Amino acid sequence: MAFAAEGSGGATAPDAGPAPRDVDHRDHRQLRMPRPALAAGILAAAALGAGAVLVYARWDQLQAAERHQGRLTVDTRPAGVAVVVDGLERGKTPITLSLDPGSHKLALRRGTEERVVPFTLAAGGELGQYLEFTPQDVVPAGGRVMITTDPPGARVRIDGEARGVSPLTVSDLAAAEHKIAVSTENGSADRTVVLEPGATVSLVFSLPKTSAPAAGWVALTSPFDVQLLEGGSVVGTGRASKVMLPAGRHDLEVVSEPLDFHDSRSIEVTAGKVTTIRVDPPKGAVSANARPWADVIIDGTNVGQTPIANLSLPIGTHQVLFRHPQYGERTQTIVVTARGLNRVAVDLTK
């Protein structure tokens, strides 16, 4: 088909429409973050936040655990005893430890000596343990004197103080000069000696002999330290001693001032024989109490629960153990005397 020429009055060419706008030919996709990188960033932020939450939660748990730990205080006499808790050495006494609540085993070790005390610690609670150990052997700073007389049975004075009758060994003398005097009804003698630290001096005195009755011995046995006196003078000391006395009748006193114990004995000493004096300790009244309460074990025997009143115990030294299922154990040493009521008490909550 033929089209009419321009200006010929025939049909015109179609309208091409408005002119196109200026287009920014930069690639808009380059301005967007790649999707994998965006996802990785989101995950990293989430992990960091979760880690912070876990650290805070763990810190809070640790603080809560510390708030619920209990405290154990351990002391001994003498100090410096190794402290072992649940098999782990924790130091030396005196010491205060923070421990998790529950049951534990405390061991106190000094050389070959060991004391084991099981205990239970409450959450947030406090418990104290105190034990006494036997004193270590100490090298004496002074000296001793061994005194023998012929005949035996002479009264001995050291620096003017009556110390017993011969044969006699005195071990509590200072390292210094001392005057030793011995006497009988028939004569006396004295001598001055100088003691060196840790040294032993033996003295032998010969005294006039007569036809007076020969001597015998008195053996003293007691569960606690006593003095044996005759006419106000000490003729024997200790828990077990053997002293020589002239044969015949003797009026003796057995005394323990710390325990308020006094006993009089009249005995007949036979020449060449041993006469025994045994001390049967009287009993004293003891009352025991604990806060809040406790089972009471005395010298290894369970005597009941606190409060305990007018419990009868022999005079002398006793070990008292207070035991509570929550507050653990506490040990005390008491000395029961013959005078009045003896009391022992403990606060297990402290």
Q: What is the pLDDT of residue 151?
A: 86
**Length of the chain in terms of residues written:** 350
User: What is the average pLDDT score of the chain?
Assistant: 80
pLDDT-based confidence at residue 5 (cuts at 50, 70, 90): very low
Asked whether residue 213 carries a pLDDT value surpassing 60, the answer given is no
pTM over 0.75, yes/no: no
Q: What is the pLDDT of residue 60?
A: 55
Helix, strand, or coil (residue 31) = helix
Distance, in Å, from the CA atom of 29 to the CA atom of 25, rounded to the nearest integer, reads 12
pLDDT-based confidence at residue 119 (cuts at 50, 70, 90): confident
**Run of H or E including 266:** strand 261-269
Q: Which two tokens stand for residue 165?
A: 């009758």
Fill in the amino acid letter for 11. A
CB-hemisphere CA count at 13 Å for 300? 0
Side by side, the strands of the sheet bearing 155-158 are 161-165, 155-158, 177-184, 187-194
Q: What is the pLDDT of residues 24-62, one digit of tens each?
A: 444 444 445 555 555 555 555 555 555 554 545 554 554
pLDDT-based confidence at residue 174 (cuts at 50, 70, 90): confident
Architecture of domain 139-209: Sandwich (2.60)
Q: Give the whole-number percent of the chain exceeding pLDDT 90.
A: 29
Domain boundaries, the chain: 69-132, 139-209, 213-281, 283-347
Q: Which two tokens stand for residue 274?
A: 């041993």
118 neighbors 104 (Cβ within 8 angstroms) = yes
Which phi and psi (to 5°) does residue 283 adopt? -110, 150
Helix, strand, or coil (residue 291) = strand
Instruction: Return the sign of the alpha-carbon dihedral for residues 50, 53, 58, 61.
Output: negative
- 298, exposed or middle or buried, with CB in 10 Å at 0-12, 13-18, 19+? buried
CATH superfamily ID and name for 213-281: Immunoglobulins (2.60.40.10)
Q: What is the pLDDT of residues 320-333, one digit of tens each?
A: 999 999 999 999 99
Q: What is the pLDDT of residue 58?
A: 57
Distance, in Å, from the CA atom of 195 to the CA atom of 141, rounded to the nearest integer, reads 11
Domains 69-132 and 213-281 alike in fold = yes
Which option is the CATH number for 283-347: 3.90.400.10, 3.30.70.260, 3.40.50.720, 2.60.40.1120?
Answer: 2.60.40.1120
Architecture of domain 69-132: Sandwich (2.60)
Mean pLDDT along residues 105-110: 90
Distance, in Å, from the CA atom of 232 to the CA atom of 71, rounded to the nearest integer, reads 54
Q: Is the peptide bond before 223 cis (omega within 30 degrees of 0)?
A: no
Q: What is the pLDDT of residue 323?
A: 94
Q: Which of 43-52, 102-111, 151-160, 287-296 has the lowest mean pLDDT?
A: 43-52
Q: Supply the DSSP string of 130-152, one letter for each residue.
A: EEE-PPPP---SSEEEEEEEESS
